Amino acid sequence: MSIRKPRPTQSERATLADIAARVGVSSITVSRAINTPQLVSEELRTQIASVIADIGYIPNRAARALARARSDSVAVLIPSLSNTVFTDVLAGARDVLHAHGYRTLIGDTRYSPAEEENLFRAYLEHSPDGVLLTGFDQTPLIRQLLEKSRMPVVHMMELAGPDSYCVGLNQFDAGHAMASHLLSRGYRRIGFLGAQLDPRVMQRLYGYRSALQEAGLPFAAGEILDATPSSIGLGVDMLGRLLRQAPDCDALFCCNDDLALGVLFESRRRDIRVPEQLAVAGFNDLAASAWVSPSLTTIATPRYNIGHAAATMLLQRMRGETPAASNIDLGFSLRVREST
Amino acid sequence: MSIRKPRPTQSERATLADIAARVGVSSITVSRAINTPQLVSEELRTQIASVIADIGYIPNRAARALARARSDSVAVLIPSLSNTVFTDVLAGARDVLHAHGYRTLIGDTRYSPAEEENLFRAYLEHSPDGVLLTGFDQTPLIRQLLEKSRMPVVHMMELAGPDSYCVGLNQFDAGHAMASHLLSRGYRRIGFLGAQLDPRVMQRLYGYRSALQEAGLPFAAGEILDATPSSIGLGVDMLGRLLRQAPDCDALFCCNDDLALGVLFESRRRDIRVPEQLAVAGFNDLAASAWVSPSLTTIATPRYNIGHAAATMLLQRMRGETPAASNIDLGFSLRVREST
DNA sequence: CTGTTAGCGCTTTCAA
DNA sequence: TTGAAAGCGCTAACAG
C-alpha cells in the first residue's frame, strides 16, 4: 500500500465539498444553492449561505470553466490603452459586459496586427466566449482562427459589409465632413496632418481628399503623413514641416486632436493667429479641445456608445440570438469652435 | 445499459489526448513536449510539434490552472483607466508580467474602495498568483482576504512602513517641494486646487500646507477642495471659484495637470497673464504640459517605472524570494517651466 | 428537491 | 525517456 503525496491544491481554499460536508449535503446541492437557488429548499439555502459566509468560500473559476466549457469572459483588443479614444470604448464595453457577469481580457495591440495576433492567440487559451476587435485589419491567421472556432466577434470603430458584425462610424464620411466644413468657411489651401496611419486615419484622409477633389482643388497640396504615434509633440513638429512644404496653407485638418493641440500650441509660439492666419481642425473631441484657447473645431465620436453597443451586440451573439442589424452606424458630429 | 449524452466540451477544440493519439504516445508526453521539452526525445518532440502546428492545438488554460493550482495571472487594480497616470503604471507592469508569462486581470476601481473590494473579490475567483494595488486605502475585507490567502501583493504609487511591499514616491514631499519652489520664486499668496481628494492628493495638500507653515504663511489662504473627478473643465471652474474666494492670490498649485491646464486655458480667456499675474503649477507632467503655452511647471512622476518595479518586486515575491527592499522610493522631479 | 456518477483537460505522482 | 493512474474543483446528466 503506497502512499502518494497529495497534489498541490489551491492553498487551503475551501471547496464546494468542504461546505457540503459542514452542512451535511452533497456538493452538487451547494453548487445549486449558488447557481440555481430556486432548485434548493429554502431551509438548505439559508444554511448553506451561512456556512459560505462563515468560511469565506471563494468559487474556483478555472474548475467551473472547465466543467461548463465556457469561461464567462470576453477578450477585448484595442490599439492603445494610453489613448482616451480607446479607453472610452473600453469603458462602454466593460460596463455592459460586467453587468452581465463577464470578465474582460484586455489587450493592447500597440496598433500592430502582429501584436494583435499574439494577444489573440494568447487569449484564445482562456477560451473567451466572445471577442471585441478594433477595426478590420486583422491578420489572416486571426481571421482563420475566428472562423474555425466560430467564436462570436464584433468589430468596433469602423463599418463594413453586412457579413460582419460591427459598431462604429464612417470614418471616410467624417473626414469628408470636416474638409467640407473648412471649404464652406472659405478656406482653399487646406493641409492635412496624419500620424500613426492606422486604417481609420487613412479613411479620414481619403474622405478629406475626396472633398477637396469635389471642390476642384489640388488634392495633395500639403499632406504630411508620418507613421509614428500621434502626440502633441508630433503635432508641434509637423506644423513646422508643413509650413516649410506649404507656407501658403490657410487651414489644417489634423487626423486627431493630439496633433491639433500641438499645432495650436506651436501656432501660439510662432505668433500665428488661429483662425485668422491658419484655421485648425482636429478629430475625436478630446477633453482639452473644448477648453483650449482658441477652442478646437473637431469631430466628436460616440466612443463610449460604440463600446456599449458593440458589447450589447456581442452579448446577443453569445446567447445565440441574431442581432437586428449586423452593422450599427453611430455617426459623428462636427463641433465647430473658435479655431475655424 | 444506459447511454449518457456527452457533456458539453470546448466545441471541437483539439486536446492533448487528440495530439497524443495522432502521434501514438500518451498525453503526458505531449504535455511534456510543450512544457518541459528537455524531458522528451528529440524525435518525439519534432513529431509532436508538427502535429500541434498541423491541428492548431490551443492549450486550455482553465484545465492547466486547475491541475497546477496556479493561474499564471496577476490582478492589477488601478483607480482609473481613463487617466494616463495609471495607464502608464499599467504599461510598466504589463511589460514585465507579460514577458514572464503572466496575464493581467485589469480592474478599474473608479477611485472607490467599495468598487475595489468588488473587483478584488471577483478576481479572487480566478486565483491570481499575485496582486498589484494602488495606494493603501483598501477596505478591511480586502486586507483580511489578502492576509488569509497569503497572496503576494505590492502597492503602487505611495510609500509605507517596512511591513508592506510598495513602489512609489513620497507624495507629501512632492507637494512640499512644489510649494517650496513657488515660495522660492517669491510668491506669497499661494492657493491650492484639489479635486478627487484621493489619498495621494491629500498627501500633496499636506505637503503644501507644511511648506507654507514653515515659511510662516497662513496655511489655508485659498484652498478649493472638490471631491469630484479631476478634469480640465473642473480646473476652469475652480479658477473662478478661487478668484472669488482669494482674488489676491498670486500663485496656484493644482493637485494635477488636468486642473492646471484648465486654469491656464481659463486664465487666457480672462486675460490673466501667466506667470506675471498668476503663477500656475501642476502635478504629473502630462504630455500636454511641456507644450502648452505658457508651458506648465509641474512634478514629473516615474509612472512607467513604478509599474515596472512593482511588477518586478511582485515576481520575486511570487517566486518565494525576498526582495532586497520592501519599499522602493522612485522619487519625483520638479520641472520648472514658463508658468512659474 | 437531492444525490450519484462521471467527466471537463491538464499535470502530478509514482513506476517502469 | 515514457506511461498509468489519479486528481485538481466544479457541474451535466441521470435517477430517485
What was the pLDDT predicted at A9?
82
Of the CATH numbers 3.40.228.10, 1.10.3720.10, 3.20.20.70, 3.40.50.2300, which one belongs to the domain with range B171-300? Answer: 3.40.50.2300
Place of cell 493637485: B255
What was the pLDDT predicted at B115?
97
| Residue B284: C-alpha distances to residues A207, B93, B99 (Å) | 37, 18, 27
What was the pLDDT predicted at B1?
43
Q: How confident is the model at residue B112 (pLDDT cuts 50, 70, 90)?
A: very high
What was the pLDDT predicted at A3?
63
Strand order in the sheet with A327-329: A103-108, A73-78, A130-134, A153-157, A166-168, A327-329
pLDDT of residue A120 exceeding 60, the answer is yes
CB A70, CB A129: distance < 8 Å: yes
Place of cell 486604417: A199
Q: Between the CA atoms of A303, A306, A311 and A312, what dihedral angle is there, to the nearest 10 degrees?
A: 130
Q: Which three cell numbers stand for residue A82?
A: 494610453
- The gap between A18 CA and D9 C1' (Å) is 11
Cis omega (within 30 of 0) on the bond before A323?
Answer: no
The β-bridge partners of A334 are A299
In the DSSP assignment, the letter for residue A165 is -
- The gap between B5 CA and D16 C1' (Å) is 19
Mean pLDDT, residues A334-339 taken together: 98
- 0.75 exceeded by pTM: yes
Question: Which of B82, B84, B106 lies nearest to residue A88, judging by beta carbons?
Answer: B82
* Segments making up each domain of chain A, as ranges: 10-59, 71-169+304-331, 171-300
d(CA B223, CA B226): 10
Summary mean pLDDT of chain A: 95
pLDDT of residue A90 exceeding 70, the answer is yes
d(CA A102, CA A128): 10
d(CA A135, CA A151): 17
What was the pLDDT predicted at A7?
74
A-chain residues near B65 (CB < 8 A)? 62
**pLDDT tens-digit readout, A46-82:** 999 999 999 999 999 999 999 999 999 999 999 999 9
Question: Which of B65, B126, B293 lies nearest to residue A269, judging by beta carbons?
Answer: B293
Q: Which three cell numbers stand for residue A307?
A: 463600446
- The gap between A125 CA and D3 C1' (Å) is 26
**Quick check: do B71-169+304-331 and B171-300 share a fold?**
yes
d(CA B209, CA A234): 38
The nucleotide lying nearest B26 (C-alpha to C1') is D3
- The gap between A63 CA and D11 C1' (Å) is 9
Q: Which three cell numbers stand for residue A23?
A: 452542512
pLDDT of residue B219 exceeding 80, the answer is no
**pLDDT tens-digit readout, B195-214:** 999 999 999 999 999 999 99
What was the pLDDT predicted at B56?
93
d(CA A80, CA A82): 5
Neighbours of B334 (CB within 10 A): 16
pLDDT of residue B130 exceeding 50, the answer is yes
**Could you check: is the Cβ of residue A27 within 7 Å of any atom of nucleic acid strand D?**
yes
Q: Which three cell numbers stand for residue A159?
A: 463599418
d(CA B72, CA B129): 6
Cα B160 to its chain centre, rounded Å, is 16
**Percent of chain B scored above 70 by pLDDT?**
98
Mean pLDDT, residues A171-180 taken together: 98
In the DSSP assignment, the letter for residue A138 is -
Put simply, whether A232 touches B (Cβ < 8 Å) is: yes
Quote the minimal CA–CA distance from A149 to chain B in Å: 8
What was the pLDDT predicted at B3?
62
Beta-carbon contacts of A98 under 8 Å, excluding residues fewer than 6 positions away, are A104
Higher pLDDT, B9 or A191: A191
Cβ-count burial of B221 within 10 angstroms (0-12 exposed, 13-18 middle, 19+ buried)?
middle
* DSSP H or E segment with residue A326: none
| Residue A120: C-alpha distances to residues A215, A245, B7, B135, B189 (Å) | 43, 41, 27, 32, 55
DSSP sequence for A240-264:
HHHHHH-TT--EEEESSHHHHHHHH
**pLDDT tens-digit readout, B184-197:** 999 999 999 999 99
Interface of A with B in 262-321 (CB under 8 A): 262, 265-266, 268-269, 287-288, 290-293
Residues 6-45 of B with CB under 7 A from strand D: 7-8, 24-26, 28-29, 32, 39-41, 43-44
Beta-carbon contacts of A172 under 8 Å, excluding residues fewer than 6 positions away, are A203, A204, A206, A207, A210
What was the pLDDT predicted at A226?
97
Cβ-count burial of A92 within 10 angstroms (0-12 exposed, 13-18 middle, 19+ buried)?
buried
CATH number of A71-169+304-331: 3.40.50.2300
What was the pLDDT predicted at A1?
44
Summary mean pLDDT of chain B: 95
**Which residue type, as a one-letter code, is found at position A190?**
I
Mutate to test the interface with B, among A127, A256, A296 (most CBs of B within 10 A): A127
The β-bridge partners of A148 are none
CATH topology of domain B10-59: 434 Repressor (Amino-terminal Domain) (1.10.260)
Beta-carbon contacts of A189 under 8 Å, excluding residues fewer than 6 positions away, are A221, A222, A246, A248, A249, A250, A251
The β-bridge partners of B211 are none
Beta-carbon contacts of B264 under 8 Å, excluding residues fewer than 6 positions away, are B274, B280, B292, B294, B296, B339
Question: Do A103 and B106 lie within an 8 Å CB cutoff?
Answer: no
Q: How confident is the model at residue B63 (pLDDT cuts 50, 70, 90)?
A: very high
Question: Do B269 and A106 lie within an 8 Å CB cutoff?
Answer: no
CB A97, CB A311: distance < 8 Å: yes
